[in-house]
Amino acid sequence: MNISLHKHQLDIFEDPSRFKVVAAGRRFGKSYLAAVTLFVEAAKNSKVRSDGVEVDLALEEVYYVAPTYEQGKKILWPLLKELGSELIAQKYENQGVLTLVNGRRISIKGADRPDSLRGVGLSYVVMDEYAFMKEEVWQMIIRPALARAEGGALFIGTPDGKNHFYELWAHAMQTEDDAWKAWTYKSMDNPFLPAQEITMMAENMSEERFRQEIEASFESGGGIVLTRDMFDIVESVPYPGDYYVAIDLAGFSKTEGGRKVKKLDDHAIAVILNHAGGWCVADLIYGQWDVRETALRIVKAYRDYKPVKLGVEKGMAKNAVTPYIEDEMNRLGVYFPIWELSHGNQRKTDRIAWALQGRAEKGRISLLKAPWNKDFLDQCVDFPSPLSHDDLIDAVSYVDQMADPWFDGFDVEDEWEPMDDVAGY
C-alpha cells in the first residue's frame, strides 16, 4: 500500500489507545484515515490480549459502520478499492465486502440496519459520523462483539450538537483510562486543503454552521441551557439603573515569595447594570492574575462603576485576597464594604441555570457591545459541559444574590406631594 498521512492523521493513527474518538471538520481527511486503519487492522492475522492469550483473528471481522449502508458504499467503497488494490483478493460489490489476500474481510455496514451487525466477532470497527447513529448500536451490538479479541474502535465524525457523540468524546477527554483518547481538529488542520476552499465555504455558511462543520465545535446548534440568541448585544445601556459588581475568584496557590497565583482558571469580575428591563452586562474583566493584581482590579472596578454592592464568594480565595484589597483601598483612597456571596448549598450548574436561564429566555439580559462578548457567549453555549470554562457566566449569576428588584417599571410618575402642608392638598 502506498499511503500518505498528514501530521494530524498520523498522530491519531500511531496512538496506541484502544478506543479513539475524533471530532473533525469537513475535508480533514477522516475517510482516508478510516480506510488506512481498516486495511492495517485487517492485515493482522493474530494478536495477544492483555491476559497474554494469543487470539487467531481468522474468524474476526473488521467493520466500517456508517449511518446507512448506502452512505458507507458512497463514502468509502471506491476509496477502499483504490487504496488497497494490492491487498484485495475478492470484491463483493452487492454486499460491500472485501476479502484480503490473507483471507480476512472488511465489510461496510449501516447503523440503520442493526440486525446486520449481529452474530459475528470483531477485531476492529470504524464508526463514521457516530453523531448520526443511535448510541445503542455501539453499546448493545458493537462493543460486545469486540470482547473476545479485545478489539479496538475509531469513532470519527463532525459534531452535531451535544448528543451521544459529544458525551463519548468528553468521556475520552476526561477519563484516566489509557484505553480511551480523543482529538479535535478543524478543517484547516488538513495541510492539503487549500485555504481558499475554507474561505469559500465560510461565505456560504452561517456562523453556527461554520463552527460546527468546519471548526468541529460541539457547541454549534445551541446549548442545553443557554443559547446565543437569548442575549441582545446593545450599543449603550438601555435604561438608567444601579450597578452591581460580582467576583468569581479562581483560587490561589502559594508560590515563591509568598505570592499566590492560580494558573489554570480565570478570575472574573462582572459589572451588571440592574434596570427596569432586567440586567445589562456592562463589563467583564477577567484573566489569570496573581493575588495583588486581582485585588487592584477589584478596587478599580469599584472606583470606575461605583456599584451599589460589590460581592465576592466567601471561602479561602476571598480570605486570601481581602488583605490585599484593603491595601489597595488605602493606596487609592477608595473604600467600600465587601458583600459576602454564597453558593447556598447549590451545585454551580443549578445556581447558574436558575439565575440566568429564565431571565435570558425572556430577553431580560443584554450585553454591552465589547470584545468580551464572544467569550461570554461561548461559555453560555458550552454550559454545563465539565470540559469548558464557566468563570464569566458564574460571575454574572452571582448578581442574582445582590441585585434588589426594580419596582418602578419603565414609566415612573413623580411621587405626589401636597401643595399645602396644612390642608394636605
Is residue 235 in some structural domain?
yes
In angstroms, rounded to a whole number, what is the distance separating the alpha carbons of residues 208 and 214? 10
User: Domain for residue 57, yes or no?
Assistant: yes
- Structure confidence by residue, pLDDT tens digits, 192-237: 888 888 888 777 776 767 877 888 877 644 456 888 889 999 999 8
Q: Kindly state whether residues 248 and 194 are assigned to the same domain.
A: no
1, part of any domain: no
Quick one: 182 and 44 in the same domain? yes
Same domain for 11 and 150, yes or no, is yes
Tell whether 321 is covered by a domain.
yes
Q: Examine the domain organization and report whether 309 and 376 are in the same domain.
A: yes
| CATH for 139 | 3.40.50.300
Q: In this structure, is residue 55 part of a structural domain? A: yes
Among residues 184, 213, 242, the one where a domain terminates is: 213
Q: How far apart are CA 310 and CA 249, in angstroms?
A: 13
Q: Tell me if 425 is assigned to some domain.
A: no
Whether residue 320 sits in one domain with residue 352: yes
Where residue 278 falls (left for φ over 0; alpha for ψ -120 to 50; beta otherwise) is: left
pTM for the predicted model, two decimal places: 0.59
88 φ/ψ angles, rounded to the nearest 5 degrees: -90, 125
Q: Write the secondary structure of the chain as one string of H (helix), E (strand) and C (coil).
A: CCCCCCHHHHHHHHCCCCEEEEEECCCCCHHHHHHHHHHHHHCCCEEECCCCCEEECCCEEEEEEECCHHHHHHHCHHHHHHHCCCCEEEEECCCCEEEECCCCEEEEEECCCHHHHCCCEEEEEEEECHHHCCHHHHHHHHHHHCCCCCCEEEEEECCCCCCHHHHHHHHHHHCCCCCEEEEEECHHHCCCCCHHHHHHHHHCCCHHHHHHHCCCCCCCCCCCCCCHHHCEEECCCCCCEEEEEEEECCCCEECHHHCEECCCCCEEEEEEEEECCEEEEEEEEEECCEHHHHHHHHHHHHHHHCCCEEEEECCHHHHHHHHHHHHHHHHHCCCCCCEEECCCCCCHHHHHHHHHHHHHHCCCEEEECCCCHHHHHHHHHHCCCCCCCCHHHHHHHHHHHCCCCCCCCCCCCCCCCCCCCCCCC
Q: What is the domain-level CATH number for residue 320?
A: 3.30.420.240
Residues 170 and 316 in one domain: no
The answer on 298 and 159 residing in a single domain is no
249 conformational bin, left if phi > 0, alpha if psi -120 to 50, beta if neither? beta
| Residue 309 belongs to domain spanning | 228-401
- Do residues 134 and 260 share a domain? no
Residue 415 lies in a domain: no
pLDDT in tens, the chain (425 residues): 778 899 999 999 999 999 999 999 988 999 999 999 999 999 999 999 999 999 999 989 999 999 999 999 999 999 999 998 899 999 999 999 999 999 999 999 999 988 889 889 999 999 999 989 998 999 999 999 999 999 999 999 998 877 889 889 989 998 989 999 999 999 999 998 888 888 887 777 767 678 778 888 776 444 568 888 899 999 998 888 999 999 999 876 554 344 443 345 789 999 999 999 999 999 999 999 999 999 999 999 999 999 999 999 888 889 999 999 999 999 999 999 999 998 776 788 888 988 999 999 999 999 999 999 999 998 898 787 766 788 999 999 999 999 877 654 444 444 555 555 555 55
d(Cα 291, Cα 367) in Å, to the nearest integer?
28
> Mind listing the pLDDT tens digit for each residue in 96-109?
999 999 999 999 99
| Domains in the chain, number | 2
218 lies in some domain: no
Residues 111 and 154 in one domain: yes
Co-location of 198 and 312 in the same domain: no
Verify that 291 and 380 share a domain, yes or no: yes
Same-domain status, 162 and 284: no
